[in-house]
Structure 1
């Protein structure tokens, strides 16, 4: 007989740190103002300034209740409580070749070469529910709640991402549906919902570490990060190269712009470098559970510079591929090229740059 799956119950967040950290100054996009032309224009101005200057911002009033968010955190917690041998059944075939949907175990990256310390990061990715991906092979704790997971993922599109893409189009003087038309849920793309756990290290290991993950950029359009109070996320200010902590804000999402938008706008939008560093001492005794959603253009979208009146006036007309006379990749080609590089190279440290595709060298940041 099948083993009954218990209800999710409540999810209890740990207290925020009491340490005084050097927090990033980030603006907030308010989607409550989205329903009027004046409100749209105002929020579009806020958004474009954010993705130009720092690449990160907060979003509030996005129409998804905290109860629904808490249930997703509880589901992620339940998944990570499974025995390792059970989780390993869901490692994707071709993980080293760039496949990423399913379970990615910890320990694949050396984050401190001198002391041979490996990461303790676990990932579980759930792709779109649009018919392009197989959802028949999930652990029972997820399979039992799959309709709820689908509803949550779809609501992120309609309630958060679509409005943000409309605001971005307005800011770039494009038709309002420009970006929503290349980010439709029904069309194949490598979007995914992610439950992510950074397991705690003992104090003597934390004392040797600089960070829990290296600085990197995300490869899609927007990444949505739900509030969780274990401080660790830091962003690298593009103008000064300073690292700043990102403060968890009540009733908000943290959003960052990613590689695809940087390519599509020839660098006008910044794909900001970020990392997870060692948490403050009053939070180092707990695991850090993350709930994220990665939004990406359709697989067949070519990542050449869009024809925007604003970009053309400002002189942003060629991205890295175009300026070097190299083939411009599709989103699918970029996704799997970068994922393959991350899977193969990220197991060891010590390298500085790597050519992912002709015309683009990925940098590695401490």
Structure 2
């Protein structure tokens, strides 16, 4: 039988790695070569528990894809931007602010950053295969590979993480997996994102912030590490530090939905996108994300049956009877993000109130 034909794709040349002296954040590294046996999960569970209950960040290595497969996906991720004419892109523009849906294109200059400056981030979202989605002509031949990549993220990365998180709460391993069905109603999606350089004037107006400090609305966010150093995380000491590039690794962060489900035990990671170091100025930053959400009908109520939460206590954003569903929470966050109607508190951070919950944007 002949091998299936792989569609040719133009190669995206990433920026060279930075040589600048940088104080990097300390991000725990979790080796997924150990995740496939009960003994390995028993060893990894405390590492994941500690990482996600302190800063909400960790780095996964040995996740099952080779560097060559990773490179192929980055080449594919550039196609929606470099191979699709602007007029055709308009036909697939998302309606995020209208309905909270991430499907299709988010154009550049969609979000307000500061002082009238808008973002330079171009995104293309591919929802899970269970959803019907039309794609631009150049993207259509690549959809099978995109879906296969999504399956790898779901079954080989996300599900093991969810099992380890459940163990950290002393719950049955499948507790969180059962709330994240691959064929369920929800908005888990693959995101191709291309960050473009900005003018010196815009950098000055925003104090070099490309995307405001925030927490994700997801349960778990997976960022496939790439060489342009721009992601920063806020440490326990309140300082921002860059995340170091590690080839063929995945940066994992907890989102606000996981924080609510875990009663505040797992911390939603505070992060932002900042101007890269000087020797990477002028380069585009092409990234692949997998944003995981629980099924739409899951209510974001803490696992009160968790022995861990019974010992340490539960922190709630809502009374249990008022807790939103996953659909309501992610739609509300999606429609409100990038809105200029925020107020600054005494620390200079911006705040929004959504359904009685105060959201902060850290600058």
TM-score (norm 1): 0.91
1:213 alignment counterpart: 211
1:262 alignment counterpart: 259
For residue 212 of structure 2, give the secondary structure of its aligned residue in structure 1: coil
2:187 maps to 1:185: no
- Measure how far apart 1:93 and its partner are: 3.9
Cα-Cα RMSD? 1.9
Alpha carbons 1:209, 1:278 under 8 Å: kept? no
2:194 maps to 1:235: no
1:143-198 superposed Cα distances (whole Å, 9 cap, x missing partner): 11111111110111111111111111111111111111111212112100000011
Alpha carbons 1:214, 1:364 under 8 Å: kept? yes
- Measure how far apart 1:21 and its partner are: 1.4
CA shift in 2, pair 1:117/1:353, >3 Å: closer
1:56 alignment counterpart: 57
2:100 alignment counterpart: 98
- Measure how far apart 1:349 and its partner are: 6.2
| Partners of 1:225 and 1:141 in 2: CA distance | 24
2:122 maps to 1:122: yes
Alpha carbons 2:97, 2:336 under 8 Å: kept? no
2:76 alignment counterpart: 75
2:114 alignment counterpart: 112
| Partners of 1:330 and 1:183 in 2: CA distance | 13
| Partners of 1:105 and 1:69 in 2: CA distance | 25
Unaligned runs of 5+ in 1: none
- Measure how far apart 1:67 and its partner are: 2.3
Residue number among 120, 144, 147 corresponding to 1:147 in the alignment = 144
2:283 alignment counterpart: 286
CA shift in 2, pair 1:37/1:6, >3 Å: closer
Runs of 4+ with >4 A deviation: 347-351
2:334 maps to 1:339: yes
2:347 alignment counterpart: none
1:44 alignment counterpart: 45
| Partners of 1:11 and 1:86 in 2: CA distance | 21
Alpha carbons 1:129, 1:150 under 8 Å: kept? yes
| Partners of 2:97 and 2:137 in 1: CA distance | 22
| Partners of 2:65 and 2:123 in 1: CA distance | 23
1:283-339 superposed Cα distances (whole Å, 9 cap, x missing partner): 1111111110001111111101112111111112x41102xx761111011111111
Alpha carbons 1:153, 1:193 under 8 Å: kept? yes
- Measure how far apart 1:68 and its partner are: 2.4
TM-score (norm 2): 0.91
| Partners of 1:175 and 1:97 in 2: CA distance | 35
Unaligned runs of 5+ in 2: 1-5, 345-349
Alpha carbons 2:111, 2:337 under 8 Å: kept? no
Residue number among 309, 324, 348 corresponding to 1:311 in the alignment = 309
2:170 maps to 1:173: yes
